[in-house]
Amino acid sequence: MKKKSIRDKLLKNFSLFSLIPVIIFCIVMLIYIASNVQGKRKDSVCSDLEHQATQLDKVLLQAYQIGQTVAEDEMVNQELAGSFKSERQRYESEIRLNSQLLGISRYFDENIKVYIVGENGGVYKNSPYSLEEKEYEREAWYEQIKESGEPSWFELHSKSYFVKTEEKEFISLGIPVSEEKTGRILGCVMVEIGVFDILHTAETQEEQGNLYLFYPDTNIKIIDGQVELYDNDRVTLIQKDGIAGHEQVEAEQPEILETAKFLTYWKKDFQEKGFGQVARFVTAYQQLNANDWILAYSMPKVEYYRLLISVLIVSVLVTVILILIAYSVSCRVSGSITRPILSLKEDVEKVQEGNFEIVVSCESEDEIGELAQQFNEMVTEIRNLMDRIQTEHERQRHYELLLLQAQINPHFLYNTLDSLMWLIRMENHADAEKMLEALTRFFKTGLNKGREIVSVKQEISNVESYLTIQLMRYKKKLSFSIAMDEEIRDFKVPKLILQPLVENAVYHGLKGKEQGGSIAVDCRKRDGVIVLCVSDDGLGMDEEQRKQIQKQLSEGIVEESESYGLTNVNERLKFFFGDSCTMSVESAQNEGTKVWIEIREEEVYVQNRDS
């Protein structure tokens, strides 16, 4: 039977459900919305801002005209040039000029209020509100007008400079009044324009938008192409909640900085109006003809593209629905393909975790079925190979232990029997009996009924028997001490891990030392780690030799026969405990040697082994 290709099945099923029509539909919809709806949105914002700017310009130009008219009025100049000998004269002067101001301003916008401050102390107005009692000629704005000698526009402020009113937005224009013949400053005309109703319209004061007045000559400076705001780093933000008033916003706010940077391009290109996007904001601006100020409206892009985002969400939902339908149909069609693959994947993961008893069952006749059959054959071969390796490893470990015992027993047994013979000849029966008893315990523990696992207590007993025999042979040159924590006495370890270390201490550490020395065996538990230590105060070794032995232990290399016992112990510990066990050597010339065995107690699986 001809094999069925998985690739052909996938191509046949998934080619029916292409995403290209969905993508084209979404792109066309987004382009349509962007070019039509957003175009109308832009036109609406720009148109409203332009209307505001036009209205504001109209009022500001009227303010300039009325200010110039008043400043050049003959009666105004006469009154300001005179002086007051009495309060009655001051009062009569106020009546005359107030009436004159009312007559001049009747032809202009009612939101424009005119005030006159004279050097002679006179203050005049066309406003029905009462003047605040203060020395106006000492105000900062008055000093600024006198110093400039020219008409000066003052930034948006929330209170009138002259009368007590509700907090609304005011723009002020100051014009100096000077004597025609001498040029002497007689005072100034201050025109205050209430712009609250002009600036607070529905479109540009919506929830997410902010309206700004920028004063480029005062607030924006360009240095090396970078925009910096100065004059206390402030620009004027008109509140959008509709109440009277305004607030000064710190220029560190990103929206203000980005809007200011956008307006920098207006200064470079000398355009009267514009619309653009900077970072996260959309900004429309319009230059005022009256004083070159900029009226700007800025809103977050998220708000500006709100409708587009809504359409995008709907498009995404439609796309998701189509994908879900395609996925549902594909699942039914491709189930017969994916099911064997998933089953094989799970079996492979189990084998990866160490379970080699897995047998994959697959009745498919395509490539998956063939792969499953080959996988079963591979797992069987690996299992057989691992069994052979395990058997060989166990056999090698057993032979190594026998070899170690064979190295220990002949010389040690010969020397011990020789010592026994001399004790008997000397009729020292008590010491002979003691040595024979220690020898019996030593071999009994070493044999351990053929078992390779003993407790720490049994290993200590074996070492104690060995040292007892050696003590009787080297009475004047050897002493020893053994310490063991009771809580680790039953901890299981491979047998003959301490005796080779003690033997090295005797023959390589103390035997060659004329005055002899001592051996200490210490078995403790510290912070969840079993620590077995054999130390002596014998000849020791130099640092180069210590490093060489430590390298042999780390790499499992035997370069000298003298270190075979250490390497053998280390290899058997690694076999039983793996990486949870470490062996290290500390030594100094003529100071002694310490051999440390550290076993992390959490590796408890070893405790149950008894092979």
The answer to whether 519 and 535 have CB atoms below 8 angstroms apart is: yes
Tokens 């400039």 correspond to what residue? 148
Highest mean pLDDT pick, 56-70, 204-218, 249-263: 56-70
- Apex CA 108: angle with CA 205 and CA 179, to 5°? 115
Please provide the average confidence, as pLDDT, over all residues in the chain: 75
Beta bridge partners of 222: 227
Q: Is 265 left (phi over 0), alpha (psi -120 to 50) or beta?
A: alpha
Beta-bridge mates of residue 247: 237
In this prediction the pTM is 0.45
| Choice between 218 and 515, residue whose per-residue pLDDT is larger | 515
Q: SS3 of 491, please? A: coil
Instruction: Give ∠ CA 89-94-99 in degrees, rounded to 5.
Output: 135
Residue 384 to residue 386: CA distance in whole angstroms: 5
Determine the pLDDT at residue 16. 62
Length of the chain: 611
Query: Residue written as tokens 């939902």?
Result: 317
Residue 441 in contact with residue 447, Cβ under 8 Å? Answer: no
Q: What is the 3-state secondary structure (H, E, C) of 562-592?
A: HHHHHHHHHHHHHHHHHHHEEEEEEEECCCE
Q: Which residues make Cβ contacts (< 8 Å) with residue 426, sequence separation at least 6?
A: none
- Tell me: pLDDT of 181 over 50: yes
Pairing of β 281-287 and β 273-278: antiparallel
CA atoms of 456 and 392, how far apart (whole Å): 28
Helix 456-473 to helix 429-447 angle (10° resolution) is 150
**Contact predicate 330/17, CB 8 Å:** yes
Residue spans of the domains in the chain: they are: 52-193, 200-304, 428-608
Residue 607 pLDDT class (50, 70, 90 cuts): very low
564-to-267, 356, 411 alpha-carbon distances in Å? 88, 36, 16
What is d(CA 592, CA 519) in angstroms, rounded to the nearest whole number? Answer: 10
Q: How far apart are the first and last CA of the chain?
A: 52
Structure tokens at 562: 């003298």
DSSP one-letter string for 269-296:
HT-SEEEEEETTEEEEEEE-TTT--EEE
Q: How many Cα neighbours within 13 Å face the side chain of 128?
A: 2
Which of 323 and 250 is assigned the larger pLDDT?
323
Query: What would the pLDDT profile of 400-455 be if each residue is shown by its tens digit?
Result: 555 555 455 566 666 666 667 766 777 676 777 777 777 777 766 666 655 778 89
What pLDDT was estimated at residue 483? 93
Task: Return the pLDDT at 611.
Answer: 41
Please check whether the domain covering 428-608 is classified as CATH 3.30.565.10: yes
pLDDT of residue 175: 94
Once rounded to an integer, what is the mean pLDDT over residues 380-402?
A: 68
450-455-460 Cα angle (round to 5): 100
Please tell me the distance from the alpha carbon of residue 489 to that of residue 507, in angstroms, as a whole number. 28
Give the model's pLDDT for residue 533: 95
3-state DSSP call for residue 30? helix
> CB neighbours of 455 closer than 8 A, spacing ≥ 6?
489, 490, 491, 492, 493
CA 176 to chain centre: 61
pLDDT digits (tens, 9 = 90+) for 499-547: 889 888 888 888 888 888 899 999 999 888 999 999 999 898 999 888 8
Give the per-residue pLDDT at 244.
Answer: 29
- Please check whether residue 101 is in contact with residue 124, taking contact to mean a CB–CB distance below 8 angstroms: yes
CB 501 within 8 A of CB 538: no
Q: 52-193 domain in CATH 2.60.120.1600?
A: no
**Cβ atoms of residues 532 and 597 within 8 Å:** yes
